[in-house]
Amino acid sequence: MAGRGVTIADVAARAGVAASTVSYVLSGKRSISPETADRVMAAVADLGYHPHAGARSLASRRAGVVAMMFPIRDGMHLPVLMQFAAGAVAEARRHDQDVLLMTADEGPSGLARVAASAIVDGLILMDVEVRDPRVETLRRLGLPNVLIGFPADSEGLTCVDLDFTAAGRVCADYLAERGCGEIALLGAAEAVYERRTGFAERVREGFLSRPGLRGEVRPCPNYPTEVQRTVKELLSARPDLTGLAVHNEPAVGHVMHALADAGKRVGEDFHVVVIGPDEVAERVHPQLPSVLVPAETLAQTAVRHLMRKLDGHDVPDSTLIEPQLTLR
């Protein structure tokens, strides 16, 4: 049974050993005889002992907590963030760590606060932008960290992200296999491109890399009517277009409408593939194949890298996750 305020001294008394011995059994930092260890573990279980997190952090200078800083901002797809969070928590727990949630609007001073108060051992920064004011602070603080995304100068930082070049290529490949000779990619709104040039360009590069295909990339706003207009313009400018990749979550539904209005039969004489979360691709008719941002894998990788850094190991500066195409 869980008791109120069970301390290491209680465990030690019940097992008939010194408190330090209990500590060593639990941490494994010194060798302890199996008999003693058994007795200690039994006492721990009997009393429902869990070390006091504050005391531990004070004495060992390790909090057992990592922070995740989330963007709260337009353009990020919320479900993906949530999957990310879930994946990160799950992985962190596997390393016996907890996860503290921060939002980007705490900004650099929030980072300074958590670093100075030693409330966390490390940090995962999500949705890093090309010019991100937090990055400089992070460098200065020396708090172990992993970034999701790539800032302009990623020298010496640990960054993890989807391999967007590969994602673009996968889409082009899919369309080519369906027999499309002329293809286009409908991208995110201009604003997103401005903020994160890097990733937009990588998608373009991948999408256009397949030889023998006439491809193009054009940005696309989020609003229904403008989406419709963009699609119409595209279709009249490129009458032989038969393949379309859409990398803009909120637009997908409207794109499908515009195509239907234009008499295109998706899945038959016209093909569409989505870069985005499953939900978006599932909730239109017909359902579309999609390349998803593997949020869970990204989160796992980020947490693992951070753990290795906390343990003093080296990790690769840059890690790109392979995209996966889901057919429907």
Give the nearer residue to a copy of itself in terms of CB position, either 65 or 244. Answer: 65
Under the criterion CB under 8 A, does residue 262 sit at the interface with a copy of itself?
no
Whose tokens are 């940090």? That residue is 123
Under the criterion CB under 7 A, does residue 7 sit at the interface with DNA?
yes
Alpha carbon distance 193, 201 (integer Å): 8
Tell me which of 3, 30, 105, 328 binds DNA, using CB under 7 A: 30
Give the nearer residue to a copy of itself in terms of CB position, either 16 or 48. Answer: 48
Quote the crossing angle between the two packed helices 197-208 and 164-177, to the nearest 10°.
30
Alpha carbon distance 143, 120 (integer Å): 9
**Cβ–Cβ < 8 Å for 141, 111:** yes
Q: Give the start-end residues of each E strand in 113-210.
A: 122-125, 145-148, 159-162, 182-186
Alpha carbon distance 2, 28 (integer Å): 24
Alpha carbon distance 161, 142 (integer Å): 22
Under the criterion CB under 8 A, does residue 279 sit at the interface with a copy of itself?
yes
SS3 94: helix
- Residue 7, binding choice from DNA, a copy of itself, none, Cβ under 5 to 8 Å by partner class: DNA
Residues 198 to 227 in contact with a copy of itself, rule: CB under 8 A = 224
CB 72 to a copy of itself: min, Å: 5
Amino acid in the structure at residue 232: K
CB 117 to DNA: min, Å: 8
- Residue 279, binding choice from DNA, a copy of itself, none, Cβ under 5 to 8 Å by partner class: a copy of itself
Under the rule (CB under 8 A), what is the footprint of a copy of itself?
2, 4, 6, 48-58, 63, 65, 68, 70, 72, 78-79, 81-83, 85-86, 89-90, 93, 98-103, 105-106, 112-119, 140-142, 224, 250, 253-254, 257, 279, 282-285, 287
